[in-house]
Structure 1
Amino acid sequence: MIHGSLIGLPALVVWGSLLFLFSPATAKEFTTYHENVLGTSLELRTNTDTAEGAIWAEKRILGEIDRLSAIFSGYDANSEFNRWQATPNVAMKVSPELFAVLQACDEWATRTEGAFDPRVEALTRLWSRCAKQNRIPTADELSATKLLMSRPAWRLDVRTRTAERLSDCPLSLNAIAKGYIVESACNIALDQGRGIRGILLNIGGDLRVCGELAQSIVIVDPTSDSENAEPLSQVKVQARAVATSGNSQRGYRIGDRWYSHIFDPRTGLPVENITSATVIASRADTADALATIFNVLPVAESLRLAKSLSDVDCLLVERDGRTFRSNSWPDSVRPAAPHSALADAKPVTASAAGVPTKQDGEKKADSVRQWNEEFELLVAFEIQRPEGASGRYRRPYVAVWVEDKEGASVRTLILWAQKNARSQWVPDLRRWYRGDQARRLVDEFDLRKTLSRATRPPGKYDAIWDGKDDHGRQLPAGEYTVNLEAAREHGTYQSIRKRVTFADQPFVEDLNGNVEIKSATLTYRRKGQVR
């Protein structure tokens, strides 16, 4: 779905802004990240023969996103969609792109008997207004809104490619337009003539994989939606699209209850039974639309619809935690959790890892308190928008990790940089980089994962620590230091450190931000507390 400012300033791409690593094939993989793209974040992986090809592909993709954003944005008053909305009862000739999306909306609305409906924007505005007043809509307000939605939204003429708006009900293309943009942008940059072999474009968890590239995709668990949590599923896809929609990132807090931002257009109420729907399809706009639809329909109807469609699979999560998969949902690949990868790599001594040995534990059994496995640490932080940036901006290199009271690294939660510690930019994460033997071993593994999740705001991230080290071993309770380190290319180096004690009492610590990390909060809480 599209949220926030869609139009970004064109970015000048330079060699140093691209992260690169060598793949088993002759092509190299170049990876770059942006924030505030379609109101969320962007991940781009390009398999190409040359750096020049990667630069061209990134420029082409960002340009196409800007072009289509100028058509579909519901937030830019000058977008084609909003200009068309402002001219009711006139058969207006529209662009091929807008016409195609309006046609697709009609097809999905018909096929789902109203479970998909761009007129749902009227409900979004009603519930947003009421949430600010900390109340749910009255019966009269819901009735009036549903009456407004009952009028036909538009009339299309295929022969003349004109669209006529028929009512004053507010409209939104958010449930399909982002997928359309991802599909078009990914395909337009796949140019074999320039040596571009494959592309992965991921915007806020809705993604497309094109060409020869095969990518493992982590499906985020809606009950533990963080950058490093154990995945709900992990699948490998090639020439496919993946989209996830759910209530883990956006919704309305009214009183002591959380309401989804996804509505059933037929009832006027937020959906309740489904907390997450992930769709794999041949096109990104198809996956985007169905991810919303499968939040609205009952599970049995969603599974029937997926089965009736060519090349569509789905994974659904109900409120009680039960999961449902379509019959052809691909088998999950083994999750690549950092500590699992390390355990399978090569042995490292406990003393080198800064972790007490079994013998040490026997000697100190009476004095060492065990970690309370009912608790976890949530590290929430927000990336600072660079000064002067009005549109999209590049994400800095970031490391988030935990040290014991002797200053030895015991667990890396986030590493946004190249996977090889000898790379050009990783040393800029100074304290993380000069860690001990166990810390350097982590450098051999790529901690950058491609996530499909419910769309979240740009620049905001979470990481969870379960009290285990990089080898999956449970650490004792006690005193540790949480570190957040950021280095921006052609920018500054910043660090936040906080020493805290983990025991049996929850706590919240707000940390002072800086020019790279706007804010950060440590929340030591019982597991299962999503909000």
Structure 2
Amino acid sequence: MKHPHTAPPRRPFRLLTCLVLGLGCLTAGASADEPHVFSHESVMGTSLELRVWADGRDLARDAEARVLGEIDRLSAILSGYDPNSEFSRWRRATGRPMAVSPPLWDLLQAADAWRTRSAGAFDPRVEILSKLWTESAANGREPSADATRQALDVLASPAWRLDADARTAAPLSECPLSLNAIAKGYIVERACDAAMKLGGVRGLVLNVGGDLRAVGEAVGAIGVVDPLADSESSTPLTVIEVPDRAVASSGRSQRGFSINGRWHSHIFDPRTGQPVEAVAGATVVAPRSADADALATICNVLTPDESLGLVDATADAACLIVLADGRTVRSARWTRYEHPAFAQSAASPVGQEPKPAKAEKSTEAEKPAAAPWNADYELAVDFEINNPSDAGRRYRRPYVAVWVEDKEGRPVRNLILWLSQGGAGPFQWVPDLKRWYRADQLRKQTDKREMIFTMARATRAPGKYKVVWDGKNDLGKLAPQGDYTIFIEAVREHGTYQSIRKDVTLAATPFTEDLKGNVEIKSATIAYRRKPEPKK
């Protein structure tokens, strides 16, 4: 039966990129009305973006320090990767009641509550399945039915016992546990609270690997990434505005297991022991970050009807679910947050094509028409940012620009421009992106504000990024086949300027080529290819 909130499979959105990015997007200036922007890699195993509305740059930097300090403090308590964290030490005390800190107590209570509310779809004991599939994938096979059954038997044992009077928690089994599906959201919210205690900090948006929170006077739009087309340059599936709310996304696009050519989600149904298949990803809006975090995972596991029932029963929560076949499911309250232009597109049978632009009069002599871009092809650019510390520690992300020029050196498509706060403001170092800055002087159709966006997406590894060129120029028109140059530029505050360029011919022949890295960009690969099937 077709659900009333279910939209049919989508064709890709045809809205122009510059228009999408202009929908009230978060800006990156340093005036009283614009946020100060900070970006870091290797924060809780992923990337961090912070936007602060404050009375001055120094105060914004103080807010940044508060955020990072609170993340470090809570990670030392809740991390499952640090063997010396309180959570890890508690896990090793099987059978013994232990007094635990308020943050760990809060999360254990919240995990119990969500396990009950979701009828077992949320369960920290699912870590045993993750370990089983990781080991099996390393050997090129799926886990056997016997191995899965044994894991489910272990998972069935009670995980812990809480004593509210004594304020103690006792781990009850050897089953591996992970609080990752709820801890990151909890930490993000507490970090925001710490920064907002500073007088003169009026608002902020903190995004850590897809767990995002907007508080205070933070204004602007947030793009929701399509889990079936997840790259840094992809047009958002939709755009939302969420004053004083948390947003969390979870799905299969960034993490999972590739076994014999088939992609399996890293999200498991604790009741069956199998990776989820019916849902590609979910984004949840909720008042509390830990709740949004847990619900985003749950919405990948339950059926759409079950998920909508649970979300609608949670005060002021809303969700957008993308099914594996491309259909979208929106909860009743989702339209409160969705930008009207995207809500209208979602309500229509399919995404509408824009009206064709009127032909422009050319002042040049007529030239033979080049072969049109093959709509079945795309150019993917994968790159990894170098960690200057080489010790796995947190580091500031450099300014990075990736764009395409034609053989005459004219800019065709800006794919990404990443800025961060530094010196007199985030644009101080932009001229040091030398080639991009020159090209930007030629680019009259867009400005810097239009190329900055905050995105809600599933968690990814730190420093690793993908951008995809679909063949369209900055005006949304398909470019012809032919000769182009791909540029990757990076400049680090008080660091080095580095550039990678590659001349390519994009026609009928696919290719893949590794590019030489440098001090700022560790590695890069370009691939002209047929558009891959979504990970199903």
Q: Would you say same fold, with TM above 0.5?
A: yes
Number of matched residues? 490
CA distance in 1, matches of 2:324, 2:386: 34
CA distance in 1, matches of 2:505, 2:362: 24
- Quick check: 1:265 aligned with 2:265? no
- Quick check: 1:472 aligned with 2:479? no
Residue 289 of structure 1 aligns to a residue whose secondary structure is helix
Partner residue of 2:516? 512
Aligned-residue offset at 1:526: 2.0
1:474-493 superposed matches below 5 A = 474-493=478-497
Is the CA contact (8 Å cut-off) linking 2:42 and 2:392 kept in structure 1?
no
Aligned-residue offset at 1:66: 0.3
Partner residue of 2:466? 462
Give TM-score, length-normalised by structure 2.
0.88
Partner residue of 1:433? 437
CA deviation map 1:351-371 (0-9, x unaligned): xxxxx9654799324x52111
Residue of 327, 332, 335 corresponding to 2:339: 332
Letter in 2 for 1:364: K
Residue 41 of structure 1 aligns to a residue whose secondary structure is strand
CA distance in 1, matches of 2:489, 2:319: 37
Partner residue of 1:56? 62
Letter in 1 for 2:366: K
Listed as ranges, the gaps of 5+ residues in structure 1 are 1-18, 336-349, 351-355
Greater shift after overlay, 259-268 or 409-418?
409-418
CA distance in 2, matches of 1:496, 1:200: 32
Aligned-residue offset at 1:389: 4.8
Identity over aligned pairs, percent: 55
- Quick check: 1:179 aligned with 2:181? no
Residue of 131, 135, 150 corresponding to 1:129: 135
Aligned-residue offset at 1:387: 4.1
Aligned-residue offset at 1:390: 3.7
Letter in 1 for 2:40: H
Partner residue of 1:342? none
Aligned-residue offset at 1:437: 4.5
Listed as ranges, the gaps of 5+ residues in structure 2 are 1-26, 343-357
Partner residue of 2:377? 375
- CA change 1:88–1:421 in 2 (3 A) is closer
Partner residue of 1:213? 218
Letter in 2 for 1:21: G
Partner residue of 1:385? 387
Partner residue of 2:350? none
1:203-282 superposed matches below 5 A = 203-282=208-287
Is the CA contact (8 Å cut-off) linking 2:37 and 2:419 kept in structure 1?
no
Greater shift after overlay, 379-388 or 113-122?
379-388
Partner residue of 1:160? 166
Is the CA contact (8 Å cut-off) linking 1:418 and 1:446 kept in structure 2?
no
CA distance in 1, matches of 2:34, 2:439: 28
CA distance in 2, matches of 1:385, 1:414: 20
- Quick check: 1:523 aligned with 2:505? no
Letter in 2 for 1:458: P
CA deviation map 1:125-158 (0-9, x unaligned): 1010000001111111111111101111100011
Letter in 1 for 2:508: D
Is the CA contact (8 Å cut-off) linking 1:421 and 1:443 kept in structure 2?
no
Partner residue of 1:501? 505
CA distance in 2, matches of 1:418, 1:147: 49
CA deviation map 1:315-369 (0-9, x unaligned): 001110000000110333547xxxxxxxxxxxxxx9xxxxx9654799324x521
Partner residue of 1:42? 48
Partner residue of 2:22? none
Greater shift after overlay, 63-72 or 51-60?
51-60
Partner residue of 2:328? 323
Aligned-residue offset at 1:505: 2.3
Is the CA contact (8 Å cut-off) linking 2:514 and 2:524 kept in structure 1?
yes
Is the CA contact (8 Å cut-off) linking 2:29 and 2:425 kept in structure 1?
no
Aligned-residue offset at 1:411: 1.1
Letter in 2 for 1:394: R
Partner residue of 2:95? 89
Is the CA contact (8 Å cut-off) linking 1:421 and 1:433 kept in structure 2?
no
Is the CA contact (8 Å cut-off) linking 2:382 and 2:465 kept in structure 1?
yes
Residue 509 of structure 1 aligns to a residue whose secondary structure is strand
Letter in 2 for 1:395: R
RMSD over equivalenced CA pairs, Å: 2.1
- Quick check: 1:146 aligned with 2:149? no
Partner residue of 1:3? none
Residue 451 of structure 2 aligns to a residue whose secondary structure is coil
Partner residue of 2:120? 114
Residue 462 of structure 2 aligns to a residue whose secondary structure is coil
CA distance in 1, matches of 2:505, 2:434: 24
